[in-house]
């Protein structure tokens, strides 16, 4: 097998995918499929998921065919000019073959099982006092605007405001297409360097806020014993309409075994706040469960981009220099105003590419 060829097991997987695609296309043409909207939608969704892989594989096979045909012609070609053309065509086709092979390896990499999940995002002010709370507020606005750009739904679950504005703590529930696959890279410590509103002398301060992104868990993902949960109700405070300070609608949930405490007061309904609190608790317990499972792979986890560790300093926002630096991939972008306004794909895109490149390199090393 040549260095440019796909590994045998990958080739078998691609052939299986191609056969499944042909099978789906046949089923979609059948009258009984058209008469079953649920089956039709299911097949169309599966087809959409397989299409990028099949299209890339088709291009890969076409490049291989071009190489074979051109090499056959070159063996008998007497004209120097035509021979030079064929050699150039072979070289271009081999480059295309190698490029598409790498794309196929990436497409065949195991998907993160949480990629299609919604997320619970927890943002907390860190070191820096009132300025840290203001920065946490800036991060909340940044993520809200990013959600708008992506067409995601974002709900405020709970918030504790800072004395001079911003947030001491804020919890967001974010839902939509592939939310976890993009926001999972945001977990960690975010650092800001700027002249804060609280500074009268014009000195640059460094403050921080932590972001925790947790995949939303279903009831089947977490074995939650309600006897381990204690619910307290209290009167909501802050913005929230006429029910604030008049009804005991806010909920505080205490998970006794872990000591996790969650407060929800955004909804006017006590039942809705209770439901949100349970959703956040399940996400936290699911994350703890995943971390326990990964303890045996601690070294691998430390090497991963976006490991989810809030103690890891992942990014610096330097306002005087107008730059944002992501320390995990050593990327610096001088578009701080755009980024804090929600244009996060300038950072998330390269993070996803770096993660794919790392996993691809590991996959190649395992195949050697």
**Residues 12, 45 within the same domain:** yes
* 145 vs 235, more confident: 145
In this predicted model, what pLDDT tens digit does every residue of 34-58 receive, in sequence order? Answer: 999 999 999 998 898 899 999 999 9
In this predicted model, what pLDDT tens digit does every residue of 220-271 receive, in sequence order? Answer: 667 788 888 888 887 666 544 444 444 567 888 888 888 888 888 777 778 8
* Position 299 in a domain: no
**Residues 124, 62 within the same domain:** no
Q: What is the DSSP string of 283-330?
A: HHHHHHHHHHHTGGGHHHHHHSTT---TTSEEEEEETTTTEEEETTTT
Residue 69, pLDDT score: 94
**Residues 337, 268 within the same domain:** yes
**Residues 265, 209 within the same domain:** yes
In this predicted model, what pLDDT tens digit does every residue of 305-342 receive, in sequence order? Answer: 444 444 568 999 999 999 999 999 999 999 999 999 99
**Residues 75, 158 within the same domain:** no
Q: How far apart are CA 115 and CA 117, in angstroms?
A: 6
**Residues 97, 131 within the same domain:** no
Q: Is 162 in contact with 137 (CB distance < 8 Å)?
A: yes
**Residues 150, 197 within the same domain:** yes
Fill in the DSSP letter of residue 204.
-
Q: Which of 108, 133, 168 is the last residue of a domain?
A: 108
Number of domains observed in the structure of the chain: 2
**Residues 184, 223 within the same domain:** yes
Domain of 23, in residue numbers: 8-108
Domain of 132, CATH number, reads 3.30.70.1660
* 219 vs 256, more confident: 256
293: CB partners within 8 A, 6+ apart: none
Q: Which of 54, 88, 108 is the last residue of a domain?
A: 108
Average pLDDT of span 6-17: 80
Q: How is the beta sheet containing 250-255 ordered, strand by strand?
A: 229-234, 250-255, 260-264
Phi, psi values for residue 99, rounded to 5°: -65, -45
């Amino acid at each position: 097998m040549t260095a440019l060829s796909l590994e045998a097991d990958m080739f078998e997987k691609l052939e299986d995918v191609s056969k499944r695609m042909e099978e789906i296309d046949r089923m979609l043409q059948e009258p009984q499929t058209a008469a079953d909207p649920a089956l039709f939608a299911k097949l169309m969704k599966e087809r959409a998921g397989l299409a990028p892989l099949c299209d890339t594989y088709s291009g890969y096979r076409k490049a291989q065919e071009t190489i074979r045909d051109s090499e056959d012609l070159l063996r008998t070609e007497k004209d120097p000019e035509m021979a030079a053309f064929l050699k150039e065509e072979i070289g271009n086709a081999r480059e295309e073959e190698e490029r598409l092979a790498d794309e196929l390896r990436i497409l065949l990499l195991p998907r993160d099982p949480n990629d299609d999940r919604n997320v619970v995002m927890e943002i907390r002010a860190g070191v820096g006092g009132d300025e840290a709370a203001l920065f946490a507020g800036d991060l909340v606005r940044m993520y809200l605007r990013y959600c708008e750009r992506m067409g995601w739904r974002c709900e405020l679950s709970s918030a504790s405001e800072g004395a001079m504005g911003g947030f001491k703590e804020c919890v967001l529930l974010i839902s939509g297409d592939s939310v976890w696959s993009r926001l999972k890279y945001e977990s960690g410590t975010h650092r800001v360097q700027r002249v804060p509103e609280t500074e009268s002398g014009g000195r640059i301060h460094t403050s921080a806020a932590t972001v925790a992104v947790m995949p939303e868990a279903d009831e089947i993902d977490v074995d939650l014993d309600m006897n381990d949960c204690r619910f307290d109700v209290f009167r909501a405070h802050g913005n929230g309409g006429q029910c604030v300070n008049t009804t005991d609608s806010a909920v505080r949930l205490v998970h006794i075994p872990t000591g996790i405490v969650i407060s929800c007061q955004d909804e006017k309904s006590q039942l809705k706040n209770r439901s949100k609190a349970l959703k956040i608790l399940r996400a936290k317990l699911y994350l703890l469960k995943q971390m326990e499972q990964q303890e045996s792979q601690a070294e691998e986890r430390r090497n991963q981009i976006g490991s989810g560790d809030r103690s890891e300093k992942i990014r610096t926002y330097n306002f005087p220099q107008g730059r944002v630096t992501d320390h995990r991939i050593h990327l610096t972008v001088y578009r701080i105003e755009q980024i804090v306004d929600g244009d996060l794909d300038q950072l998330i895109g390269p993070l996803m590419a770096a993660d794919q490149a790392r996993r691809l390199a590991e996959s190649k090393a395992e195949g050697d």
